[in-house]
Amino acid sequence: MNIIHFLAFFLLLPEIALAEETGTSGPAASLDLTRHVIGYLSVMVTICAYVAAMAEDVIELRKSKPMVLGSAIVWFAICIYYALHGEAKTAALAFESNLLAYVELLLFILVSMTYLNAMEERGVFDGLRIWLLSRQYSYRKLFWITGVLAFCLSTVISGLAVGLIMGAVAAAVGKNKPQFVGLACVNVVVATNAGGSFSPLGGISTLFVWQHKILHFTEFFSIALPCLVNFLVPASIMHFFVPKETPAASMCPINLLRGSWWVIILFVVTLIITVWSNVALELPPAAGMMAGLALLQFYCFFLTKTAQKNPSEFAYVYKFFHLDVPRENSKQDFDVFKNVGNIEWDTLLFFYGAMMIIGALGFIGYLDAIAHFLYGQISPTMANIAIGLSSAFIDNGTLMFAVLTMHPDIPPGQWLLLTLTLGVGGSLLAIGSAPGVGLLGQIKEGYTFGYHMRWMPVILLGYFASIAVHYWINGSYF
């Protein structure tokens, strides 16, 4: 009992001091944690967790571990404090609200990554890489092809996956040209972040805004041109530094596994169902994605039951594209749960920790104070531009969730501006976005943190050019 009494006294001590200073008591004073030891503890734990996550490669500790532990510490401290005041239900409901937001994100990304892993297992991305290498394009053409593909694919596929796929292509064709590899990887990072910024299906920060029903699905396409400008401005400048030579062609055959085209078709159908159910039925995006996962599961069952049949179901498609018909392969069965297990759980758990910690800081009251400064003391435009620049250091999904937790009263044009700046701001540094971090770990020669920094001025030029175009074409939204 002595330990319990000491803990209660420790938790209540700042409250007693505050009540003596203000001469007030009651729920309003006792539940104000912004100047309480719980509030200070939450801030310290948040900072430590983020520092540990950002130093993942140095300390060799996966980024999800400090974030999940930090979120547990913060929320347990808050709930203990509220329980001591007979308000345990209030804190529990706040936790459940943040958890629901995360679950919707988890289900959406889980299905998207599952489809992506299924396509990779069926050989779709290897086939794309080999096909590009077989066309004998020059380095400059490959520079633009990989950039444009990254821009287009990132509208429907996770940015990390697109970055790794296009980075693998760049590394394969530029084995003896590290200059090309470096330029192509910088271009892929910029293109991937730009393409995902105007599509809720590809960008995390955009998905958050869509899930919270701040903007309709079609409204995001109004920043498609600014995003395209953000990609084209630095790419046009880097183009003149790309070698003019042509790499040696690849003679490897394209060997897609059975059912690869149907997996692609089902993924497209899933995206259509997701958008339609959200626009027409106002269901959360996760509902449509889970329906698509069910389709993939049934197709998995079909592939497994017919594994011994002729794998050349789409021979006419291969002949049309002048591709080799896939050969018999022992890996004709298809386990969808294996693809679920192979998704990037470290990233998903990192988002859990980040969202729960940010939600805790919002529940305490710190985010309201920050929102009052950002959207009250300075103009929303300057605030959104500054937040976008900060995404060069901090994950854009975390920043967007923090802003959404602040509930700023800004017009649709400012929400579009925030979506734009957070999406493309991560391109400024190699560590500012998932594609950049992924390529730093994947590419062994040509692409480094320092090399990316060398091109930051032209990327920054594209950043401000996209903002200018947004104001030019979307003035009616402000």
User: Between the CA of residue 3 and those of 15, 41, 57, 87, 464, what are the distances in Å?
Assistant: 19, 20, 40, 22, 57
CB 62 within 8 A of CB 46: no
Judge if 198 and 244 occupy the same domain.
yes
Q: Is the pLDDT of residue 393 over 80?
A: no
Q: Is the pLDDT of residue 102 over 90?
A: no
Judge if 21 and 139 occupy the same domain.
no
Can you tell me the mean pLDDT for 133-152? 88
Nearest to 361 by CA among 9, 12, 47, 27: 47
Tokens 């889980």 locate to 110
Provide the number of structural domains found in the chain.
2
Judge if 221 and 288 occupy the same domain.
yes
Between 417 and 56, the more confident residue is 417
Q: How far apart are CA 107 and CA 323, in angstroms?
A: 35
Q: How far apart are CA 149 and CA 173, in angstroms?
A: 16
In a domain, 434, yes or no: no
Q: What is the pLDDT of residues 21-41, one digit of tens each?
A: 333 333 333 467 888 899 899
- 3-class SS of residue 327: coil
Judge if 306 and 336 occupy the same domain.
yes
Query: Can you give the pLDDT at residue 30?
Result: 44
**φ and ψ of 133, to 5 deg:** -70, -25
Between 174 and 38, the more confident residue is 38
Judge if 55 and 112 occupy the same domain.
no
Mean residue pLDDT of the chain comes to 80
In a domain, 443, yes or no: no
Residue 74 has which token pair? Answer: 């913060």
For residue 214, how many other CB atoms are within 10 A of its CB? 16
Q: How far apart are CA 7 and CA 266, in angstroms?
A: 56
Which residues, including other chains, have CB under 8 Å from residue 197's CB and lie 6 or more apart?
Answer: 203, 205, 206, 223, 227, 230, 419, 420, 422, 423, 424
The DSSP letter of residue 374 is I
- Please give the model's pTM, rounded to 2 decimal places: 0.70
Judge if 55 and 198 occupy the same domain.
no
Nearest to 320 by CA among 261, 369, 406: 261
Between 30 and 398, the more confident residue is 398
Q: Is the pLDDT of residue 111 over 90?
A: no
Can you tell me the mean pLDDT for 404-410? 84
Nearest to 338 by CA among 103, 112, 118: 118
Query: Can you give the pLDDT at residue 144?
Result: 95
In a domain, 417, yes or no: no
In a domain, 351, yes or no: no
Residue 344 has which token pair? Answer: 């990037």
Query: Can you give the pLDDT at residue 87?
Result: 87
**φ and ψ of 324, to 5 deg:** -75, 135
Query: Can you give the pLDDT at residue 1?
Result: 42
In a domain, 466, yes or no: no
Between 324 and 183, the more confident residue is 183
In a domain, 458, yes or no: no
Q: Is the pLDDT of residue 105 over 70?
A: yes
Can you tell me the mean pLDDT for 202-225? 86
Judge if 80 and 135 occupy the same domain.
no
Query: Can you give the pLDDT at residue 370?
Result: 79
Q: Alpha-carbon dihedral of residues 290, 292, 297, 299, nearest 10 degrees?
A: 170
Share of the chain above pLDDT 90, in %: 27
Q: What is the pLDDT of residues 246-260, one digit of tens each?
A: 777 666 777 778 888
Residue 113 has which token pair? Answer: 């990554």
Q: How far apart are CA 419 and CA 19, in angstroms?
A: 42
Share of the chain above pLDDT 70, in %: 83
- The residue from 294, 324, 345 where one domain ends is 345
Which residues, including other chains, have CB under 8 Å from residue 88's CB and lie 6 or more apart?
Answer: 79, 82
Handedness of CA 152, 157, 158, 160 (dihedral sign): negative
Query: Can you give the pLDDT at residue 18?
Result: 38
In a domain, 141, yes or no: yes
CB 66 within 8 A of CB 52: yes
Residue 82 has which token pair? Answer: 């509220």
Query: Can you give the pLDDT at residue 318?
Result: 46
- 3-class SS of residue 5: helix
Judge if 15 and 140 occupy the same domain.
no
Give the number of C-alpha atoms closer than 13 A to the C-alpha of residue 212, restricted to the C-beta side: 20
The DSSP letter of residue 227 is H
Least confident of 172-181, 246-255, 391-400: 246-255
Query: Can you give the pLDDT at residue 334?
Result: 63
In a domain, 422, yes or no: no
- The residue from 30, 55, 86 where one domain ends is 86
Nearest to 465 by CA among 239, 229, 236: 229
The angle at the Cα of 416, spanning 110 to 185, to the nearest 5 degrees, equals 60
Confidence of residue 441 (pLDDT cuts 50, 70, 90): low
Judge if 61 and 114 occupy the same domain.
no
- The residue from 54, 86, 118 where one domain ends is 86
Q: Is the pLDDT of residue 236 over 80?
A: yes
Judge if 196 and 288 occupy the same domain.
yes
Q: How far apart are CA 345 and CA 347, in angstroms?
A: 5
Give the number of C-alpha atoms closer than 13 A to the C-alpha of residue 213, restricted to the C-beta side: 6
Q: What is the pLDDT of residues 265-314, one digit of tens each?
A: 998 899 889 889 887 888 888 899 899 999 999 988 888 888 766 544 44
Can you tell me the mean pLDDT for 375-389? 88
The angle at the Cα of 182, spanning 179 to 186, to the nearest 5 degrees, equals 140
Query: Can you give the pLDDT at residue 317?
Result: 43
Burial class (CB in 10 A: 0-12, 13-18, 19+), 24: exposed
